[in-house]
Amino acid sequence: MQKIPVTRDGKRGSEVLIIDASDVVKIDRIREREMIVHTQEESFYLDFSFDNLEEWLFEDGFRMLDSANIVNMNHVEEYDFRKGLVYLNSAGSKKPKTASAARIHKEHVENAVQLIKSADSSIPGHNPELTEELFSRIISETNDYHLLRSYATIRAVNERKRAEEKIQHMAYHDALTDLPNRLMFDEKLGRCFQEAERNGSMMAVMFFDLDRFKVINDTLGHHVGDQLLRLLARKLRHYVSDKDVVARFGGDEFIILLTNMAHADEAAQFAKGIPDLLKDPFVIEGHELFVTASIGISMYPSDGKEVDTLLKNADIAMYRSKEKGGNAFQYYHPDMNKRSLHRLNLEIHLRKALERGEFQVHYQPIVDLRNGSVYGMESLVRWQHPEWGVVSPGEFIPLAEETGLIVPIGNWVLLESCRQNRRWQQLGYPPLVVSVNISAIQFNQMNFVQIVTDALKESGLAPDRLCLEITENIAMNNVPHIIETMQKLKALGVGISIDDFGTGYSSLSYLKRFRVQTLKIDQSFIRDVTLDEDNAAIVTALIAMSHRLKIKSLAEGVETQEQLDFLVAQGCDKIQGYLFSKPIPADAFETMIKENRQLYMH
């Protein structure tokens, strides 16, 4: 972009000002080497040869229309063919700026105006393809070299404008979803602060985060996760009103700004509509994906009067919503800051817990109902913090999954369980099968089969003494990869158990293809199996189905003799639960198998 040196009075020795060529709408010739340079608001003097002006400013879109006018075609609004006048702002303005178009053919001016307008992306219905068609037609009908050069320059200027608009758009929009990004959201929020102060209205900032989105990425791949985010962004864009803003914060997090609110309840009403927005599945590559969201809400001015404060508090409220199970919304409350600091502190200590040896493995016996003897045990990780004592698995396991720490922790539990089982064998106790829970992230490691192989080799445990438990929902995602991995594990000799069966998709066709050894019936069905006819029917059907598929059935969460009697009557193969034993440390478990403890059955 050229810079033009001008003065205010045209006198020698006057102060020289520098203006951008883009701000100039036209240049009038007064006399030889004396020009008046017009912007939309002001006029200046320029000492320069009129004949050389067009060549100097040609690339910036300036054209000589007659012997006294050079016009910046980028500022042309319309052309009056009858009067031969080019309007540099609307003809309806009180004092429109005009330029005569007597010297150049009027058809050329019309073409130039048409080309410039067709490239204006702000005009409704703008179509770049039509602009290219227009260029092609005009060029094919033009033989004059100077006119062709003029059209080529207009085209170059238009392309530069498009590139600048694209760069501007990219700077303020998310590349994946095309929603506004954090930068644009912050600027919009800052402007809304000023408006809210003037009219006394309220605003709400919402943090919107998908629940368990990581499982989709880890099981189906990031390309499926990206498609889901694009589809979700489209739904949110239509759900949010024109006066409000929805932006992508990053990952699976979105931020929503609700403006000009009269009552705080308006934010709650908005949030209550989200479950209905997400009730239909997202169908991607043949997968029906049902998603829910956790939402945190902070209010202006009660929860903050600065951008960062409102965002931080909405984020804290969102995490509180997740802690309560997700698929809900929470307003920010100052007490949440304490919980947020606790969570941050928990993550810091969790990252150090493995290297400090703070994790232990407890074992819950699995009982064979044919004879009441201990068949094996499920490994369950426990965190014994030196200051806090025992940290609940319900508190640190979700955090470990969210941060990816579940991989090193899970791999350690796998190796330690294999080692411990081998130690008991070496001590002469009856051979047992140890079951180890495997998270989705672990199972989808590229080298997962090798990790299992290495654990068996290092511990010396026979493969048939290890069973890997994967949840039903993990098993039903990314099926080709799951089957391939299971086949490799089966070839290795390792057993596979489907955990929490009946709580997810319960696809019988997939179950047949997986050829697992054990089906674990979720404790939610066992809890009321003697009180609820529906639960009883489900458990009966699952046991019968397992027998027909030649799969062992295992009921977890068995706590009463009545539950046990029901399961025995239905032919269930194995059970685990507090009726026989809670999860216990390795030394206590060793004492139990040393004493050959049995389950009493009627």
| pLDDT the model gives residue 509 | 59
Distance separating alpha carbons of residues 368 and 575, to the nearest angstrom = 7
What's the pLDDT tens digit per position in 483-516? 788 889 989 999 999 887 655 544 565 666 667 8
Identity of the amino acid at 186: D
Going from the C-alpha of 407 to that of each of 13, 421, 449, the distances in angstroms are 76, 21, 14
Same domain, 406 and 511: yes
The dihedral sign for the CA sequence 455, 464, 503, 535: negative
Long-range CB pairs of 350-354, under 8 A, 24+ apart, other chains included:
350/383, 350/396, 350/399, 350/400, 350/403, 350/405, 351/403, 351/405, 353/383, 353/385, 354/405, 354/408, 354/409, 354/412
Identity of the amino acid at 147: L
Same domain, 199 and 267: yes
| pLDDT the model gives residue 395 | 85
Query: Is the separation of the CB atoms in 374 and 410 below 8 Å?
Result: no
Query: Residue 446 sits in a domain of what CATH number?
Result: 3.20.20.450
Please give the mean pLDDT across all residues of the chain.
Answer: 86
Q: Three-class SS of residue 380?
A: strand
Distance separating alpha carbons of residues 228 and 176, to the nearest angstrom = 11
Helix (H), strand (E), coil (C) string for 535-569:
HHHHHHHHHHHHHHCCCEEEEECCCCHHHHHHHHH
| Count: domains in the chain | 4
219 located within any domain? yes
| Residue 315 or 132, more confident | 315
| pLDDT the model gives residue 158 | 76
273 located within any domain? yes
Same domain, 512 and 405: yes
Confidence of residue 431 (pLDDT cuts 50, 70, 90): very high
As a 3-state breakdown, the chain gives helix, strand, coil percent values, each rounded to 5, of: 45, 25, 30
Distance separating alpha carbons of residues 259 and 241, to the nearest angstrom = 10
Tokens of 62: 């300036």
54 located within any domain? no
Hey, what's the torsion of the CAs at 279, 284, 288, 290, to 10 degrees?
-40
- pLDDT value at 309 more than 90: no
332, 366, 389 - which closes a domain: 332
296 located within any domain? yes
Same domain, 105 and 192: no
| Angle 63-68-70 from CA coordinates, rounded to 5° | 20
Same domain, 122 and 210: no
| pLDDT the model gives residue 587 | 95
Tokens of 284: 């991607």
Confidence of residue 333 (pLDDT cuts 50, 70, 90): confident
538 located within any domain? yes
Same domain, 85 and 188: no
- pLDDT value at 477 more than 60: no
Nearest to 540 by CA among 502, 570, 497, 516: 570
* H/E run at residue 28: strand 24-31
Cβ atoms < 10 Å from Cβ of 131: 21
Same domain, 475 and 389: yes
Q: Three-class SS of residue 236?
A: helix
Top mean pLDDT of 18-32, 65-79, 133-147 is at 18-32
Same domain, 165 and 200: no
Going from the C-alpha of 551 to that of each of 234, 371, 448, the distances in angstroms are 44, 19, 24
Q: Which domain holds residue 150?
A: 68-170
Tokens of 454: 């290495």
Long-range CB pairs of 596-601, under 8 A, 24+ apart, other chains included:
596/373, 597/374, 598/371, 598/372, 598/373, 599/367, 599/369, 599/372, 599/373, 599/564, 599/575, 600/372, 601/369, 601/372, 601/564, 601/568
- pLDDT value at 120 more than 90: no
Distance separating alpha carbons of residues 327 and 425, to the nearest angstrom = 46
Same domain, 302 and 382: no
Contact residues for 291 (Cβ-Cβ < 8 A; gap 6+): 210, 211, 213, 216, 228, 232, 278, 282
44 located within any domain? yes
500 located within any domain? yes
Q: Report the percentage of the chain scoring pLDDT > 70.
A: 92
Cβ atoms < 10 Å from Cβ of 354: 15
Instruction: Identify the weakest region by mean pLDDT among 29-33, 76-80, 341-345.
Output: 341-345
Same domain, 233 and 131: no
Identity of the amino acid at 218: D
602 located within any domain? no
Instruction: Identify the weakest region by mean pLDDT among 88-92, 251-255, 263-267, 277-281.
Output: 88-92
Hey, what's the torsion of the CAs at 125, 130, 135, 138, to 10 degrees?
-100
170, 193, 220 - which closes a domain: 170
Same domain, 295 and 441: no
| pLDDT the model gives residue 148 | 76
| Residue 573 or 326, more confident | 573
Same domain, 43 and 113: no
Query: Residue 203 sits in a domain of what CATH number?
Result: 3.30.70.270
Nearest to 507 by CA among 545, 469, 534, 539: 545
Identity of the amino acid at 484: E
Q: Three-class SS of residue 11?
A: coil
